[in-house]
């Protein structure tokens, strides 16, 4: 049977894994598949998935509803919480707009809020009622709530709708395996550490067997064809990602990244952006948000994860420097937590949560969404913050306002909802 050799190299997406430096010919293949003009500056969407379900009411508590204090006697923030007659400063929610506060662990984001670059969407999430982490994450990453088996991820569809040539670095996930968001026909990379990687083509071995040849033999037949098609700039791109450049990279703007997986991921994304290798869609992960036990207020699992997220985003933003006009950062999480605390000092799987959107083009300094209150009749199933804003309303707004993608029917099949007006009009 006839075999498309170029498709061989694109099948399943490329994955770069931190498992040691692999064969040099694989590296040549990865860059040999590049498209022309890799150094033209592009708009970049950076997404951060908070896996485990972030407690939106702890991150951005309401300051107007006293019911939260009665429902969360051990987990509440306020503007004047006292302890033994004295104000416990660390437990004070930072007043955002008189209606909502911000958990103090997110203090590094306050300057961006005040500058009008950070927007928050509250009571946001999936309309599907599942409380399964696996299903909810799958629905959010495919952009098809309630529909299992969707073959492509929404970020892969974003890549396909950009409408111009791409380099191998267009879509990069800082992860050990390709996330569901990147599944699909558009080539994507999964990278854990740019300083120590090898190249793996997930479906290459099977494809080679179909062709009746070993991978190296197939490469020998194909390499010259690919190299003839490759622009000279591609080799410069490879040089930009040399070990020397990586080792000598120093974040700018006084950026101090946390020495955590998220901090490392964001630092490497900043490096790729500033290297002008054609990055347009980036994905990072922040785990540990499943706070069933000992969630804490200013100490505990929530505060640790919030501190890491806020410090990482703040460092990334400082590091970008003059590239900030090209970049938008958006967080997401599969669902929220119960409004009431549980008997273990934590919160259980809920429904609505909140997310953050950061960028110079964001109409920030505002909490978006319809927040219904915390009365029993206002809650979903009498226990959860409801979802009043479908996450696709936010994702579609970002895709259009930042990347110029207006094809909602392709981006989110079957959805025709309104967009949240997060992005300033030009």
Reduce the secondary structure of 219-258 to three states and give it as a string.
HHHHHHHHHHHCCHHHHHHHHHCCHHHHHHCCCCCCCCCC
pLDDT for the residue numbered 202: 42
Residue 90: the pLDDT is: 62
Q: Could you report the per-residue pLDDT of 273-301, keeping only the tens digit for each?
A: 998 889 999 999 999 999 999 999 999 99
Q: pLDDT band for position 392 (50/70/90)?
A: very high
Q: What's the pLDDT at 52?
A: 98
pTM of the predicted structure, to 2 decimals: 0.84
Query: Is residue 95 within 8 Å of 114, Cβ to Cβ?
Result: no
Task: Give the structural domain span for 348.
Answer: 41-186+258-411
CA atoms of 376 and 353, how far apart (whole Å): 17
387 belongs to a structural domain: yes
Minimum mean pLDDT among 71-85, 105-119, 392-406: which range?
A: 71-85
Domain presence at residue 131 = yes
- Take residue 153 and report the two structure tokens written for it: 């991820």
Average pLDDT over residues 222-247: 50
In whole angstroms, what is the distance from residue 189 CA to residue 272 CA? Answer: 13
In a domain, 235, yes or no: no
Element (H, E) at 111: helix 110-114
**Total number of domains constituting the chain:** 1
Asked, for residue 365, whether it belongs to a domain, the answer is yes
For residue 301, tell me if it sits in a domain: yes
Calculate ∠ Cα 259-263-269, nearest 5°: 140
Mean pLDDT of 106-133: 98
| pLDDT of 79 strictly over 80 | no
Q: What percent of the chain has pLDDT over 90?
A: 69
Q: With respect to residue 349, please indicate whether it lies within any of the assigned structural domains.
A: yes
Residue 367 has pLDDT above 50, yes or no: yes
Check which CATH number belongs to the domain holding 148 and give it. 3.40.720
Residue 337 gets which letter from DSSP?
A: B
Per residue in 312-357, pLDDT (tens digit) is 999 999 999 999 999 999 999 999 999 999 999 999 999 999 999 9
What local confidence, expressed as pLDDT, does residue 236 receive?
44
Confidence of residue 168 (pLDDT cuts 50, 70, 90): confident
Across 25-54, average pLDDT: 67
């Amino acid at each position: 049977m006839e075999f498309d050799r170029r498709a061989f190299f694109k099948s399943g997406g490329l994955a770069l894994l931190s498992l040691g430096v692999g064969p040099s010919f694989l590296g040549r293949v990865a860059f040999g598949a590049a498209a022309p003009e890799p150094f033209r500056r592009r708009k970049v969407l950076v997404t951060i998935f908070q896996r485990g379900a972030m407690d939106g009411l702890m991150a951005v508590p309401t300051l107007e509803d006293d019911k939260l204090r009665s429902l969360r006697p051990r987990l509440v923030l306020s503007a004047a919480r006292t302890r033994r007659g004295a104000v416990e400063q660390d437990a004070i929610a930072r007043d955002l707009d008189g209606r909502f506060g911000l958990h103090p662990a997110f203090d590094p984001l306050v300057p961006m809020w005040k500058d009008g670059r950070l927007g928050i969407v509250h009571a946001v999430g999936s309309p599907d009622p599942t409380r399964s982490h696996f299903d909810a994450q799958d629905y959010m990453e495919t952009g098809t709530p309630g529909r299992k088996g969707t073959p492509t991820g929404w970020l892969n569809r974003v890549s396909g709708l950009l409408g111009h040539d791409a380099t191998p670095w267009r879509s990069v996930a800082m992860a050990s395996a390709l996330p569901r968001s990147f599944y699909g026909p558009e080539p994507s990379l999964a990278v854990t550490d740019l300083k120590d990687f090898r190249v793996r083509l997930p479906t290459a071995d099977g494809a080679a067997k179909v062709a009746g040849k070993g991978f190296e033999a197939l490469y020998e037949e194909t390499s010259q064809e690919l190299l003839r098609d490759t622009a000279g700039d591609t080799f410069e791109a490879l040089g930009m990602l040399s070990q020397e450049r990586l080792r000598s990279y120093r974040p700018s703007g006084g950026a101090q990244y946390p020495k955590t997986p998220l901090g490392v991921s964001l630092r490497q994304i900043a490096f790729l952006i500033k290297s002008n290798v054609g990055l347009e869609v980036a994905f990072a992960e922040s785990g540990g948000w499943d706070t069933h036990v000992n969630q804490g207020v200013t100490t505990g699992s929530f505060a640790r994860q919030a501190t890491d997220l806020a410090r990482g985003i703040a460092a990334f933003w400082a590091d970008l420097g003059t590239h900030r006009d090209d970049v938008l950062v958006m967080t997401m999480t599969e669902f929220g937590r119960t409004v009431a605390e549980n008997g273990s000092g934590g919160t259980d799987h809920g429904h609505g949560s909140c997310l953050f959107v950061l960028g110079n083009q964001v109409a920030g300094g505002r909490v978006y969404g319809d927040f219904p209150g915390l009365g029993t009749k206002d809650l979903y199933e009498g226990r959860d913050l409801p979802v009043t804003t479908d996450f696709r309303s936010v994702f579609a707004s970002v895709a259009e306002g930042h990347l110029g993608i207006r094809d909602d029917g392709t981006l989110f099949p079957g959805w025709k909802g309104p967009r949240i007006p997060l992005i300033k009009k030009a």
